[in-house]
Amino acid sequence: MEVVENTFEVERVKKSKVTETDFGNLQFGRVFSDHMFIAEYADGKWGKAKIQPYQNLSISPASCVFHYGQAIFEGLKAYRSTKGEIVLFRPDQNHLRLNKSALRMCMPEVPKHFFIEGLKQLIDIDRNWIPEGDDLSLYIRPFLIADEAFLGVKPSSRYKFMIITSPTSTYYTGAVKVKVENHYSRACQGGIGAAKAAANYAASIFPATQAQKQGYHQLIWTDANEHKYIEECGTMNIMFVINGNLITPSIERDTILPGITRASILQLAKKWNMNIEERRISVDEVLAAIKNNSLEEAFGVGTAATIAPFSNIGIGENDYELSDFNTWKFSNKAKDYLDQVKRGTQEDEFNWTIKF
């Protein structure tokens, strides 16, 4: 067990809202815990950082973020182990990725101390907000925005880094229906698809609502040039098991977000001696595998759902129903393994977690 150092100034709420919260009926991202972490950057350096009651911000309407969109974020979760400890899954990776996103968006790097120690101290203060139960966790949203009041297009000279948290239940219940997008794009080569930038989500909302009108939960994004190769699924990375091989789009291109769940699942597949192919995979290849019955599993991977199995894939005018995901070997085994590491009931052999 690690000790959480009280390194940041803390202003506590007068009265916690935790007892007013209905933990039996949590929706994703609607309820926020008592406190937030906030740090400010101005003129080339980070200034004060503190933990304060969750509250609205006072910010100029001319802030760059509203006009030119310098905004990036992260997403991770705190779990409660069966022994009652708090478990964080690979927060160091989220910190590294935030700073990679910052570089691409011309924003300052966030010091590791703010991200990791700030997060631990915040979660420790709000530890009563971490729900107990198999599908429950505390969703953590670190983010960085530009708040210089200036309408010229240039990198902002002022930023705010914040962490807010929200108790949550599973993102999807059951399998998801996905549709291959063949007109709109989430990301293009040379763009910002590999950064966890708010703007990528802005681009995805309209096409996603179109798919939802047709009864699908999520889109499968394809490459912006030809709409021929599969890239991601909604806000998740994507994997297929075809003829016993685990196939996933490689992240060499800058159109795919390098997911931490993706990387962790690939490590597990390697440990289990599964053949892994990180490469381009075309829609035609998946369609052929559906038709000749060699598509064994197809699923999205990301922090929100860990693994979201697909029940249906829409391709062109057709909808293809996949086999019952309860029978899928690899994805169920990987999900169980990851769930158990997060609950502390599986030995953490890769040193993925921080417990306190």
Ligand X SMILES: *Cc1c(COP(=O)(O)O)cnc(C)c1O
Provide the binding-site residues for ligand X, judged by CB under 6 A. Answer: 75, 196, 232, 235-237, 257, 259-262, 302-303
Compare residues 26 and 307 and give the one whose CB is closer to ligand X. 307
3-state secondary structure of 204: helix
Q: What is the rounded CA–CA span in Å between residue 231 and residue 247?
A: 12
Burial of 235 (0-12, 13-18, 19+ CB in 10 A): buried
CB of 21 to ligand X, least distance (A): 24
Closest C-alpha to 59, from 179, 194, 137, 160: 160
Instruction: Indicate the pairing of strand 137-146 with strand 71-73.
Output: antiparallel
Compare residues 239 and 286 and give the one whose CB is closer to ligand X. 239
CB of 157 to ligand X, least distance (A): 27
CB of 30 to ligand X, least distance (A): 19
- Tell me the backbone φ, ψ of residue 189, rounded to 5 degrees: -60, 135
Compare residues 319 and 348 and give the one whose CB is closer to ligand X. 348
Closest C-alpha to 122, from 81, 90, 164, 80: 164
Compare residues 31 and 305 and give the one whose CB is closer to ligand X. 305
Q: What is the rounded CA–CA span in Å between residue 178 and residue 176?
A: 6
| Type and span of the H or E element at 205 | helix 198-213
On whether the CB atoms of residues 115 and 142 are closer than 8 A, the answer is yes
Compare residues 40 and 254 and give the one whose CB is closer to ligand X. 254
Angle at 289 between CA 286 and CA 290, to 5 degrees: 90
Compare residues 196 and 342 and give the one whose CB is closer to ligand X. 196
Type of residue numbered 328 = W
CB of 102 to ligand X, least distance (A): 15
CB of 248 to ligand X, least distance (A): 12
CB of 165 to ligand X, least distance (A): 16
Compare residues 139 and 216 and give the one whose CB is closer to ligand X. 139
What is the 3-class SS of 32-77, one letter each residue?
CCCEEEEEEEECCEEEEEEEEECCCCCCCCCEHHHHHCCEEECCEE
Neighbours of 127 (CB within 10 A): 18
CB of 22 to ligand X, least distance (A): 26
Tokens of 100: 């990679």
Rg (CA), the chain: 21
Compare residues 63 and 94 and give the one whose CB is closer to ligand X. 94
Compare residues 63 and 261 and give the one whose CB is closer to ligand X. 261
CB of 247 to ligand X, least distance (A): 17
Compare residues 146 and 338 and give the one whose CB is closer to ligand X. 338
CB of 306 to ligand X, least distance (A): 9
Angle between helices 260-271 and 91-104 (to 10 degrees): 130
CB of 220 to ligand X, least distance (A): 12
Eight-state DSSP code of residue 114: I
